[in-house]
Structure 1
Amino acid sequence: MTHPVDVHVGKRIRHRRWLVGMTQQQLAEKVGIKFQQIQKYETGANRVSASRLWDISDALEVPVSFFFEGIDSEASENTSAASVPSDLMGDKEALDLVRSYYAIPENQRRRLFELARVLSDVA
């Protein structure tokens, strides 16, 4: 039986790995383990030890606290029809969209953001 904290930490590992464009194999090599172990961490099937989480945070260039962000709000999240899905950052398409968004030059990105805001208000 998986623990919700292990699942959350695994999702955050996957989220960050996708954002930086790293494969499971690349992360595993940086940490010194097999990619299958990364798969197990990302699904929450295996619990990440403190020392391993430290190595993963170093490889992904984030503080260890990154993996626990949002854990309190996840439990009390509102699930109205208009709300964002709880696992938005676990969705590969959403992460690809975010990565592409940040690849756009800043002045154009601001314009795109304002356009999206206006369109979402109309919908």
Structure 2
Amino acid sequence: MRRGLSQSALANAIGVTFQQVQKYERGANRISASMLLRIANSLDVRVAELFPGREASAGRGVEIGVLEGGTELAERYAAMSSEQRASLLRIARELDSDTSA
């Protein structure tokens, strides 16, 4: 409502019916992370802003979904084992240290 967007307009923007938006709003249906990102993008807000009363980290995090390839990277990361995640994190730290030197 604060954005002046009807449920129907939001539904069209995110590719669902307005009844589905109503179910999301009432909490009758769960919202996947990718759908939550679509909703935030459609409303032109950060995902954290969709959670009233929750303080977002003070600008320290990066919303990976807005970066090119970020959503795919997050999905693949979530599917990895803890050992694979640790290896990928080591690689990312090494690449980051190479660019900051």
Alignment check: 8 A CA contact 2:48 2:54 kept: no
Alignment of 1:49 with 2:9, yes or no, is: no
2:11 touches 2:18 (CA, 8 Å); kept in 1? yes
The percentage of counterpart residues that share the same residue type is 47
**What's the CA shift for 1:71?**
4.5
Counting matched residue pairs gives 55
Q: Which has the higher helix share?
A: 1
Q: Which deviations, in whole Å up to 9, do the C-alpha atoms of 1:9-44 show, x marking residues without a partner?
A: xxxxxxxxx011111000000001111000000001
Consecutive unaligned residues in structure 2, runs of 5 or more: 56-101
| Paired amino acid for 2:35 | R
- Residue 18 of structure 2: aligned partner: 35
Residue 26 (structure 1) aligns with: 9
1:63 matched to 2:46: yes
- Secondary structure, aligned partner of 2:30: coil
Q: CA RMSD in A?
A: 1.4
1:43-70 CA-partner distances (Å, limit 9, x unpaired): 0111111000000000000001112231
SS at match of 1:19: coil
TM superposition score normalised by structure 2: 0.51
